[in-house]
Structure formats: structure tokens, C-alpha cells
Structure 1
Amino acid sequence: MILSTRINRRYFILRTGSALAKLNVVIASVLFASCSSSQNQSTSTPTSQNVSASQQTNIIKVGVWSVIAEDILKFIQKKLASSQGLEIQTVKFGDWVQVNNALKSGEIDANYFQHRLFMEDSAKRLNLNLVMLNQTYLTPIGIYSKKIKSLSEIPNGATIAIQSDASNQDRTLKFLQSQKLIKLKDISGNLFSVKDMVENSKNLQFKELEGPAIVRGLDDVVVGAFLGSLLIQAKQLDLRPIVQESTKDKRYALGLVTLQGKENDPKIQKLNQLIIDPKVKDFIKNTYQDAVVPVF
């Protein structure tokens, strides 16, 4: 009986020890997995606890709308910004209105998508004080068609697609006037719209569309007049214009924009200089052909 009790007691100790060993292995595995998970999360998405104050001051959030501006900023980050300790975070928006609203709310530090006339019109509508910094590239307006090859082929009563936003519609109508397709009334200080035409010899019917939709809508109209950059957005860069706007006028050149009072922020000024680096000019020329033209 005594021997049996000793054997049972030894079996219990061995069994208990084995269970404890297994439990320790499980606990260690859980702890290791937890640590590994924490390390992966901090690598992919840094938190404010993992980023020093000095690093945070060199992060600039820039709002963009078009793929052109996004690609240019990516090029700057890869080739120029990193060596100067600047981190550019691009925030892409689905329409033109949101990008300036994001400046107002503080979601971004600057944006890179608009020309001066568009900025001034937006500032009035949104009650914002905006500042244009360095201008970098121009996207000329062209007249495009999948149905005809010259302006003389435009039939009477043809439908023409134009951009719906105020500043680009003003610009498009002035271009159409320069091509003697329409004539506008004599006004100053205001943006032209389709209601300001006094002559329309071909009785053109205007279809107002927004953004890349105007490129996709070419199948439904005779001609379209719009920014060359929209071809890139719609991935139709091989479509060539019947006639294109002169690139000498820099009023429509896109530039870096921020809120008044923030223009002297060191990180904004650093980016402001990088966007006019000669390497950026070469990148624009080599990437976008004549659809996008550097102006610096």
C-alpha cells in the first residue's frame, strides 16, 4: 500500500510538471505573437508615440485631385525630398471642391491641383484666404473628337462637351472664341458662361460635364473642349487634339496652394522649392508629352 501511494504521488508530480511546462509554452507563444503583431503594426502605420516631434514637423500632407500631381509628388519624394528629411503624404480627393475644403478643415497642409483663377473663384465661394505659391505646369485646353479631324467638319447643330466648373468653362469659351466658333459679350471682371454668348454661327449645343467624364462622353458628342490632363486621368493619352491652346499664358498654370498665414511654414517652403527643381521639369516633359507643359 505504501509503495502504491509513492508511485501514484510520483505520477501526479510528473503529470503536473508536464502540464505546467505545456502551459508555459502556450503563454510564451501568445506573448511572442503579441509582440510580433505590435511590431508589424508600428512599421506599417506609425503612431504619434513612435514618431518623434522633429519627424512630425517634417511631414507635409498635400491634397491632390489628378494623377499628374500625385505622380509628380511621388517623384519628388523618391528623388528629392527624402534626402532633405521631408516626407510628403499625398491625400487624394474625388472632386475639386473637397480639396480646398480640406485646407479649411486642417486635414491637409497644402494642395496641388489648381490654377490661380480657379483658386480665386473657390476662395470666394468657400470664404477662404488662399495663397498661390510656385506654379509648375500647365495643362492646355484642346478640342478633341472621335468623329471628325478638323474644325471645318463640325456640322451645324453639333453637340460640344465642355467643362462644367466656372473657371475652366470661362477659359474654354475664350478658347472657342479664339477659334471663331462663338463670340462672347463684352464683359469684364466676371467669368464667362454659356449664357454669355452673343454669336453661335454653327448653333452649337453645349453639354456641360465634370472631370474625366467629359473624355468618356466623347462617344456621345461631335467634339469636346477640355484640359489635356483629363486624357491622362481617363487613360486616353493617345487621343490627339484637333487644335490646342497656346501654352504661353501662365494664368492657368497649376501651383502649390495653402492657407494665408501658413505660406512661410518651413516644410511648405521646402516643398515649394522642390516642385521647381530641374529634375521635376525633366520628369514632366518625359512623362506626359504635350498634354502637360512645365512653366518654370
Structure 2
Amino acid sequence: MVKKLSRRYFLLTAESAIASIIFTSCTSTQNSPTSQLISQSYKAVPLKVGSRNTTTEDVLKFIQKEIAPSQGFNFQIVTIADSVKINDALKSGEIDANFFQHEPFMRQAAKRLNANFVMLNRSYTTKTGLYSKRLKIKSLNEIPIGATIAISNDDSNQDRALKFLKHIDLINLKDKSAEYYSVKDIIKHSKNLQIKELDNYAIVRALDDLDLAVTSASFLVQAKISLNPIVLDEIGMANKNYAVGLTTVQSKVNDPNIQKLNQLVVDPKLKDYINNYFKGTIAPVF
């Protein structure tokens, strides 16, 4: 009987010792600096950056794969194929920043949403101009009277298109009374153009049914359409306010990850990539 008790005591003692070792080991591991770093890495959430179209996504992917790793930085690209919803997502916090728009468009969205959006570094401008798929013409003099022409239906891009058409003497505009020109501001002109207001992406899809369109080369490339412009909007392209930039909300401007990405959208490697890959459809502004 004594022997059995001793054996049982020995087994219990051994089991307790083993359990103590395991507990001590686990406790030590959990409290070690390495384990804390691992725990923190699991909790880390990458910056979420909204992209609207193929061009902006290509630019962001290049940054993500070719530049960010050398900076020890990572971010997530969230594709939102809608110019309205992508700013809605920024306001609601679904994304931390977006990269697709110019400042006038951003201001328009901020006003609609009562949001405090901030434009940070501008990266590139899209080459915008007057195009025709249906008319085989090369000069403004060849444009027929009463020709149909599509322009953007959003306020900021419509304003830009109308200023451009006035500059090349295809329309006349009355004195502006609001922030943006609209089709309501067009007054009599000898060309008597028939204006069609369309979404930017709908414009390139409707080219077969239009005489003319004011659009950007990047939209044409995305639609796999190869056209030379009748004339480019040189004034608009020289205006840095129309350059695509990184946008976030005021409360996140000083976030270290936002600031890291803000530097990468103007990185010299990106400039080389834009010049070599996009072949003149977009141009760096930094």
C-alpha cells in the first residue's frame, strides 16, 4: 500500500512539474518581445487605397510591387468602379484614401457629402482633347455645322470641357455666375454644336454614334480605342489642379502610412514608369 501511494505521488509530482514547465514556457513566449511583435503584426491592418480605373490601378500596383517593399511599407488596393461610390467609401471610412481624381472633382464630391477631403501630392495628368471616331477629319475647320459632341456630365469636368471648347472657338459662353460653367451657359455660335452630356466612361462607348467627344486618352486606352486627337487641351493639361492626386480625409492627413504613400506617388521610379509604360496617354507632374 505504501509503495502504491509513493508511485501515485511520484506520478502526480511529475505531471505537475511537466505542466509547470509547459505553462512557464508558454508564459515566457507570450511575454517575449518576439511574440509581442508577432501579435502586433497579426493586428496590423494595411492602408486601404481606393482605385477607380485601370490606369490608377496600374500606377498603384507598380508602387505596391516595385517601390513600397524597399520602404518596408504595404497597402491594399480596393477597386471601386464608380466615381461617386469611391468618394462615399472615403467619407464612410471603408477606405483610408483614394487615388483617381483631380482637385476640382474632389471639391465637388466634398460639397455633396459635406466631407473634409484633402488633396495631397499630385502625381500625373491625363491627356485630354477633342476626338472623333466617326468623322475622318484632322482640323477644327473641317467640323460640320450642327455636329454632335459629347462632354462629361459631372460639374468639374463639364466646366473644363466647356472652357476648352470656347478656347478653340467651337462654342460661346455667357459670363459665369456659378462656380462651374454648365451647358446652360452656352450661347449662340456659328458651329451650333449639339451637346450630349454623358458619364466619362459612357462617352468612349458612344463614339460610334457621335461626331465628336471631349475625353482623355486614358479612357480611350482602357476601351482599347486608338485615336489621335484633333486638338489637345494644352491649357487644361498645364493646370496642376487637373492632375490626379492622393486624396484622404482631414483626420488622416498626418497618419504615417498616408504620408509614406504620399511620398511614393511622386517617387522618381514612378516617373520613369509613367513615361515608359503609358506612352504619352498620361504624364507625370512632379
TM-score normalised by structure 1 residue count = 0.79
Listed as ranges, the gaps of 5+ residues in structure 1 are: 1-50
SS at match of 2:130: strand
1:202 to 177, 191, 196: 191
How far is 1:85 from its partner? 2.3
Name the counterpart of 1:254. 244
How far is 1:57 from its partner? 4.1
- Which amino acid counterpart does residue 46 of structure 2 have in structure 1? I
Range with bigger deviation, 271-280 or 212-221: 212-221
Judging changes above 3 Å, is the alpha-carbon distance between structure 1 residues 276 and 56 closer, same or farther for their aligned structure 2 residues?
Answer: farther
- Which amino acid counterpart does residue 241 of structure 1 have in structure 2? P
CA RMSD in angstroms comes to: 1.7
What do residues 243-292 of structure 1 show as CA deviations (whole Å, max 9, x unaligned)? 00113211101100001110110001000001101110111111212220
Does the 8 A contact of 2:274 with 2:283 survive in 1?
A: yes
- Which amino acid counterpart does residue 274 of structure 2 have in structure 1? I
Q: Are residues 1:241 and 2:260 paired?
A: no
| Same amino acid, percent of matched pairs | 56
Q: Which whole-Å CA distance do the structure 2 matches of 1:189 and 1:278 have between them?
A: 39
Name the counterpart of 2:155. 166
SS at match of 2:246: strand
Q: Which whole-Å CA distance do the structure 1 matches of 2:39 and 2:163 have between them?
A: 51
Q: May I ask how many residue pairs the two structures share in their alignment?
A: 246
Name the counterpart of 2:254. 264
Q: Which whole-Å CA distance do the structure 2 matches of 1:148 and 1:196 have between them?
A: 29
Q: Which whole-Å CA distance do the structure 1 matches of 2:278 and 2:94 have between them?
A: 30
SS at match of 2:84: helix
What do residues 11-37 of structure 1 show as CA deviations (whole Å, max 9, x unaligned)? xxxxxxxxxxxxxxxxxxxxxxxxxxx
Name the counterpart of 2:68. 81
- Which amino acid counterpart does residue 212 of structure 2 have in structure 1? V
Name the counterpart of 1:21. none
Moved over 6 A (4+): none
How far is 1:188 from its partner? 5.3
Name the counterpart of 1:124. 111
Give the alignment of 1:104-115 within 5 angstroms: 104-115=91-102
How far is 1:232 from its partner? 2.3
Give the alignment of 1:167-182 within 5 angstroms: 167-182=156-171
1:148 to 124, 136, 141: 136
Does the 8 A contact of 1:166 with 1:191 survive in 2?
A: yes
SS at match of 2:129: strand
Judging changes above 3 Å, is the alpha-carbon distance between structure 1 residues 267 and 57 closer, same or farther for their aligned structure 2 residues?
Answer: farther
How far is 1:52 from its partner? 4.3
Does the 8 A contact of 2:129 with 2:215 survive in 1?
A: yes
Judging changes above 3 Å, is the alpha-carbon distance between structure 1 residues 203 and 62 closer, same or farther for their aligned structure 2 residues?
Answer: same
Judging changes above 3 Å, is the alpha-carbon distance between structure 1 residues 53 and 188 closer, same or farther for their aligned structure 2 residues?
Answer: farther
Q: Which whole-Å CA distance do the structure 2 matches of 1:183 and 1:140 have between them?
A: 23
Give the alignment of 1:1-296 within 5 angstroms: 52-54=39-41, 57=44, 59-146=46-133, 147-149=135-137, 150-187=139-176, 190-236=179-225, 238-246=226-234, 247-296=237-286
SS at match of 1:261: helix
TM-score normalised by structure 2 residue count = 0.82
Does the 8 A contact of 1:129 with 1:259 survive in 2?
A: yes
Does the 8 A contact of 1:58 with 1:87 survive in 2?
A: no
Q: Which whole-Å CA distance do the structure 2 matches of 1:250 and 1:135 have between them?
A: 8
Does the 8 A contact of 2:171 with 2:192 survive in 1?
A: no
